[in-house]
């Protein structure tokens, strides 16, 4: 970066924060976020990361930054190994993309053991960030979320689709990798960890290949991944994965005490912060003994044990809050009285087909479509931007108007008008 001053460095971190805030999950400025950025990113890292669009080739990035391609290749490799950016290769060409805070460089920081970094300081810094309600709400704004709950398929007696089965996702993945659970590692570094297993974070396909190449994950077989999944279920952990139906990229095995998403939705009452499964826990009051095991096991705090009158005597029994229930089925595993069941929801959530559609939906809902388009200028807009436009095209006209009001983009406004004309022509 040549000769720099303190003011120059401050600008780099401010611009990096602004770049991160353009992601669909957001990153509003705060002292906690600034502390994390300065801990994880050198000024050179910040200078590069703040100028990364959604996806860009390293050759194009070197030209954009006016730097030596070999130097940039080394920098991106170092940043990828530290979990600050993502990179991949396609057709013998290397690409880089900006990593958000979550799911992104928070997870990548704690997904393996590291002796080269002040990990306890990192953990305390992230804890301060997750105590910032503005940051948490920026992550979980909108109705489409980054994570969804998998149901305990063993507890379901009705039809269940392949993309709803955790076992099917693991069995059919083209490649699988495992990492340490970042949330439980983070909690243990702060002295708040639990006894649940930690080698449980699974990634699949291209995501697995990328993390293995960066040293963040280790490759494993599908058979070993199924064993890890089974052990996680036996430990009472809930499965949370990518909010997509196809090409699922990750699956966490979450506890209610350490999981960042679980803790946040309970602390701030954001119970739609994780997309629920298509199933809902139900309890047969005639069989329930009020033992409290299900209430203690529920990672979302969706079950209360309350007193009631029954059979001429006062007793306790469990009640499920349907608005809080994630449909994970953990409660079903711990019930000794066969009082629990998993039933299909009357209004199941919409799960996007793939990552492109998920990001597009999140961008439209959160008023970030303009940012998404701008980040892809010079990259032929990219498939994510194209997917965003397709999402708007499929929207009812009133929803398009709402999106247009948020985005205030002449380009999108023109596109919406064209869609309206096409709709009118079909009537």
* Distance in angstroms (rounded) separating the CA atoms of residues 166 and 252: 10
CATH number of 6-99: 1.10.10.10
User: Could you read off the pLDDT of 21-78 as tens digits, one per residue?
Assistant: 999 999 999 999 999 999 999 999 999 999 998 788 999 999 999 999 999 999 999 9
- pLDDT at residue 421 in the model: 59
**Banded pLDDT at 403 (limits 50, 70, 90):** low
Please name which of 377, 283, 351 lies closest in space to residue 54, comparing C-alpha atoms: 377
Which comes out higher in pLDDT, residue 330 or 374? 330
Which CATH code of 3.30.70.20, 3.30.2350.10, 3.40.50.261, 3.40.50.1820 fits the domain covering 282-344?
3.30.70.20
What is the mean predicted confidence (pLDDT) over 293-317? Answer: 84
Please count the other Cβ atoms lying within 10 Å of the Cβ belonging to residue 354: 16
Share of the chain above pLDDT 70, in %: 85
Find all residues with CB under 8 Å of 254, minimum gap 6, and list them.
183, 237, 238, 239, 240, 261, 262, 299
Structure-block tokens of residue 354: 């793939």
Which comes out higher in pLDDT, residue 412 or 176? 176
Which comes out higher in pLDDT, residue 388 or 271? 271
| pLDDT beyond 70 at 407 | no
| pLDDT beyond 90 at 300 | yes
What is the mean predicted confidence (pLDDT) over 351-374? Answer: 80
User: Could you read off the pLDDT of 245-299 as tens digits, one per residue?
Assistant: 999 999 999 999 999 999 999 999 999 999 999 999 999 988 999 999 999 999 9
* Distance in angstroms (rounded) separating the CA atoms of residues 145 and 240: 12
**Banded pLDDT at 388 (limits 50, 70, 90):** low
| pLDDT beyond 80 at 382 | no
Answer yes or no: are the C-beta atoms of 166 and 226 closer than 8 Å. no
Residue whose token pair is 């599908």: 222
Answer yes or no: are the C-beta atoms of 208 and 175 closer than 8 Å. yes
What is the mean predicted confidence (pLDDT) over 9-23? Answer: 94
**Banded pLDDT at 385 (limits 50, 70, 90):** low
Please name which of 105, 86, 298 lies closest in space to residue 186, comparing C-alpha atoms: 105
- SS3 state at 229: helix
Answer yes or no: are the C-beta atoms of 70 and 77 closer than 8 Å. no
CA distances from 190 to 125, 126, 257, 315 (A): 10, 10, 13, 40
Please count the other Cβ atoms lying within 10 Å of the Cβ belonging to residue 90: 10
What is the mean predicted confidence (pLDDT) over 162-168? Answer: 97
Mean residue pLDDT across the chain: 88
* Distance in angstroms (rounded) separating the CA atoms of residues 258 and 274: 15
User: Could you read off the pLDDT of 96-132 as tens digits, one per residue?
Assistant: 988 999 999 999 999 999 999 999 999 999 999 999 9
- pLDDT at residue 56 in the model: 87
Answer yes or no: are the C-beta atoms of 246 and 206 closer than 8 Å. no
CA distances from 343 to 69, 149, 206, 284, 340 (A): 56, 15, 34, 12, 10
- pLDDT at residue 396 in the model: 58
Per-domain residue ranges of the chain? 6-99, 139-267, 282-344, 355-426
Cross-strand partners of 309: 314
Helices 58-65 and 69-81: angle between axes, nearest 10 degrees: 110
Sheet with 147-149, side-by-side order of all strands: 147-149, 238-242, 250-254, 201-204, 176-179, 218-220
């Amino acid at each position: 970066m040549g000769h720099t001053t303190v003011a120059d460095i401050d600008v780099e971190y401010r611009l990096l924060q602004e770049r991160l805030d353009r992601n669909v999950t957001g990153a509003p400025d705060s002292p906690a976020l600034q502390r994390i950025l300065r801990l994880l990113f050198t000024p050179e890292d910040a200078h590069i990361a703040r100028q990364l669009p959604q996806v860009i080739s390293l050759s194009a990035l070197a030209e954009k930054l006016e730097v030596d391609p070999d130097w940039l290749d080394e920098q991106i490799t170092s940043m990828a190994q530290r979990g600050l950016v993502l990179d991949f290769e396609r057709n013998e060409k290397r690409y880089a993309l900006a990593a958000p805070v979550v799911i992104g460089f928070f997870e990548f920081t704690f997904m393996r053991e590291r002796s080269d970094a002040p990990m306890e300081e990192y953990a305390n810094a992230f804890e301060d960030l997750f105590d910032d309600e503005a940051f948490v709400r920026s992550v979980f704004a909108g109705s489409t979320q980054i994570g969804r709950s998998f149901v305990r398929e063993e507890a379901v007696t009705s039809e269940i689709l392949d993309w709803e089965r955790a076992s099917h996702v693991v069995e059919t993945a083209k490649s699988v990798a495992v990492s340490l659970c970042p949330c439980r590692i983070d909690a243990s570094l702060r002295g708040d960890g639990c006894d649940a297993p930690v080698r449980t974070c699974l990634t699949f396909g291209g995501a697995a290949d990328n993390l293995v190449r960066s040293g963040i994950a280790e490759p494993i077989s599908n058979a070993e991944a199924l064993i890890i999944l089974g052990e996680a279920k036996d430990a009472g952990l809930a499965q949370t994965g990518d909010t997509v139906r196809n090409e699922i990229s990750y699956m966490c095995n979450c506890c209610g005490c350490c999981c960042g998403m679980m803790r946040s939705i309970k602390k701030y009452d954001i119970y739609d912060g994780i997309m629920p499964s298509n199933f809902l826990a139900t309890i047969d009051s005639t069989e329930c003994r009020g033992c409290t095991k299900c209430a203690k096991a529920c990672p979302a705090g969706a079950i209360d044990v309350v007193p009631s009158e029954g059979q001429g005597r006062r007793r306790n029994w469990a009640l499920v809050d349907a608005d809080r229930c994630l449909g994970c089925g953990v409660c079903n595993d711990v019930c000794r009285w066969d009082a629990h069941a998993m039933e299909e929801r009357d209004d199941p959530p919409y799960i996007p087909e793939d990552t492109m559609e998920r990001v597009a939906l999140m961008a439209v809902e959160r008023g970030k479509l303009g940012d998404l388009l701008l980040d892809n200028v010079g990259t032929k807009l990219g498939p994510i931007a194209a997917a965003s436009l397709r999402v708007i095209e499929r929207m009812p006209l009133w929803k398009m108007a709402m999106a247009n009001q948020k985005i205030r983009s002449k380009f999108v406004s023109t596109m919406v008008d064209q869609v309206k004309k096409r709709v009118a022509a079909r009537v």
